[in-house]
Structure 1
């Protein structure tokens, strides 16, 4: 018996001839009917290969239609889809495979040379991206008899970046993915008229769950983007008449500096969305100068990742706010003393809703530390203004305590990023015998500038204890696998004294 919420099958019945997927590299298109047929054929093939309910099926691939083929196929037979971060080292990939023990792994031909290195302990593999794979997605088996599937059964497992230790497998149920999509569609007013291009890596929740699946559920179109550049993104947004896009701040930094951005009007775009990390206010300004709607959101793999809504009009007035909680989730802020934060007080973000993850794979203690009484303790800090709009302050672990004062790096980063000579800025605390931690700024420059001038610039806005005691100049700030500035790497650089 299939779970009654096989929504792709239902969507294919409602709008069979509507374009669901477009490959941004080849321009090949698939309708909802064709997408459902591919996933049914893939489910049949997986079942014929011995895949059963609860088995893991891994994928190592750049952005490609196989993400949708395998996710929806796993949903039909009760298996668990595990997309892998192809930017990881062989050692890291092998550790993840040892943790999730998949029954099969699909490997894109781009990474074919890794196959013997990842499958030398009996793991079966199949090749993605060539004729043999197209034979799989049209496999002529009869519909497989499958076990009953519950909404609480696992559908996908997405591994966290591992920047704070061992990478954790975040188990997402059918219900979690479904309700994230429903919540997003209703709260953000998505429809079948919407088109997006997905440049965020689809092994990441931002690429898969933030916008791609909600757009498909609403009957809209997803363009699969692979390699990103600001110029290429501008061209593609207009070519495919996109209405909405989600990028991370480092991508927007590239986008707004492309000459193509300066001369393009984006007539079809309803809104540009930013996520994964707090967005510098200079990026807001670049869009507002062109009369384009821009806003940012907040989420994490364990929750959604969509949790807030703000209208573009309110985002222009309340720059830096992620808005208010969406229709079908709850948010509260808890201070270090366990009391709920009042207006304009900083507290840790707690999230509750049907979009929440189930547990961390093989990590019961970490699950218990993160989920308490149904609330997800995110480790992120925020404040709420007197009208109920939330502002992300930063990571709890990133807060700097210097001379007994709490310093939130995001405030300093926003101010530094607004200086015309600065390209990118990040602020961390480094050990200091006198102050406990010293506020340290890492910057890359557009134009030369003296540190004394930067300190005077900070003095015009920031309290004395917030002003960086040290500026470390880098040609480019290091990034994580999903494009965030890598503060762990910055801490290593600061401790080693390298410039």
Structure 2
């Protein structure tokens, strides 16, 4: 199958003087022409390592634009790019490396000591430069490879056990990018500021690659700082940016946010976890466009689009499926659901992954012909707008009633006493499961369980109101900042 592995080089010829990438830490900038030279350098450096088509190139490094250059270099030569989560333990990293068996590991000075304990054959330091070598006039010998072959393997981690390597082909990555450009209206005038980790699809595929395909600018930060993020958005005249809700919680509490009007921003995007309505309200007060998205590593991650004006009336909705994405909500009998009926979300499209690396069983479990069974529960309203209700495995059955934790969590987080909330079902002889809320407080001294129960009863049916509240200083998180509900079981009352 035809595969255009050279689209970045073509884009660079169209807009050679446009800024492609900016590194926040150093302030270094690369035009598209300069970034092409950086890609050429990495093609040369990797060729010196005697790699062959299909070899895995693992990356263990902090966020930096050069990681994107390595990604494109891998794409031109048919190597498979495998970014590693540097927040993982030595045991977890060892499991991943044993699974993918990389031919080489690229790192930076931050992780030089760690890598000597890892099972890798060769190592290369990103920060060690090739002195006295220019690549401006170098040509690239592209290794032709099918569009269905993997370009990257991204390991998903967190709440479902051992990490699985999601294979994303050239087709998957490119169709997600094209779909995002068309559905979200991106162009070479767009600029994004991102602190999303480049070892996750949110950092790579949500905006960075689509914006580079469109000819825009990607500004990359290493360690997130709420004040700095806002200052960079203003300084770089960013038009679109994606952050997770925990980042927005920090950003909206800064004086910099309160005193800024963000004249160039077309939209702020939230993803990675359900967004509390209180964050929507912070942006509404300032008249700033804000909306929520939904995605997963196995599909895109971009799947939906919602008009910013519709958000005012449909908080929590992710909108309609994007132009080249098919979506379906199915019942337990695998039949399409009725309007506003909750079922499992299935997704189909050329952006859907090709399978888990060396894991046919897990792949078969989530695929139904061309459809990806996401494991997420959703509903669709009469106007065709989708709402993500929660994880299928998180649904609580109490006294024969289905309860969706996300609805209760949204209710709890509206109360001024609550900083964070997570709801799970705990086994109970009488009810089967009882609704149990784990909460962290804004002001522990002012906590009143009665007030909280009264608040819940105002918005929720009686069977949905938590039967128990467990107060914790902070809710446990996964490596990507999501609340880890598995660990809540160890905190149960």
**Pairs within 5 Å for 1:153-192:** 153-192=149-188
Where do residues 37-186 of structure 1 align in structure 2 (5 Å cutoff)? 37-119=37-119, 123-128=121-126, 130=127, 132-133=128-129, 135=131, 143=139, 145=141, 147-186=143-182
What CA RMSD, in Å, does the superposition of the two structures yield over aligned residues? 1.8
Tell me the matched-pair count.
Answer: 491
Task: Indicate which of 273, 295, 299 corresponds to 1:303.
Answer: 299
Runs of 4+ that moved beyond 4 A:
134-146
Which residue pairs with 1:400 in the alignment? 396
Question: Corresponding residue for 2:368?
Answer: 372
- 3-state SS of 1:318 partner: coil
The separation in 2 between residues aligned to 1:465 and 1:136, in whole angstroms, is: 71
Q: Please show how residues 12-51 of structure 1 align to structure 2 within 5 Å.
A: 12-51=12-51
Which aligned pairs between 1:207-222 and structure 2 lie closer than 5 A? 207-222=203-218
1:4 Cα deviation from its structure 2 partner: 3.4
TM-aligned CA deviation for residue 3 of structure 1: 4.5
Whether contact under 8 Å (2:396, 2:404) holds in the other structure is: yes
Structure 1 residues 491, 9: CA separation in 2 closer, same or farther (over 3 Å shift)?
Answer: same
Hey, what does 1:245 align to over in structure 2? 241
Q: Is the 8 A contact 2:378 2:390 kept in 1?
A: yes
Match of 2:284 in 1: 288
CA drift at 1:47: 2.1
SS for the counterpart of 1:485 is coil
The DSSP-based 3-state class of the residue aligned with 2:57 is strand
Residues 492/299 of structure 1: CA separation in 2 closer, same or farther (3 Å cut): same
> 1:194 matched to which residue of 2?
190
Aligned to 2:475: 477
Report deviation, 1:149: 1.2
- The answer (yes or no) to whether the contact 1:170–1:301 under 8 Å persists in 2 is yes
CA contact 2:5–2:75 (8 Å) conserved in 1 = no
User: Structure 1 pair 377/136, CA: closer, same or farther in 2 (3 Å)?
Assistant: farther
Distance 1:163 1:38 in 2: 37
**Are the aligned partners of 2:348 and 2:371 in contact in 1 as well (CA < 8 Å)?**
yes
**1:42, 1:136 within 8 Å by CA — same for their partners in 2?**
no
Change (3 A) 1:16 1:324: same
Deviation, structure 1 residue 236: 1.4
Contact 2:3 2:170 in 1 (8 A): no
Q: Tell me, what secondary structure is at the counterpart of 1:458?
A: helix
Structure 1's unaligned 5+ residue stretches are: none
Give, in angstroms, the shift of residue 163 of structure 1: 1.9
Tell me if 1:321 matches 2:317: yes
Gaps of 5+ in 2: none
How high is the TM-score relative to the length of structure 1?
A: 0.95
Find the residue that maps to 1:442 and give its secondary structure.
strand
SS for the counterpart of 1:460 is: helix
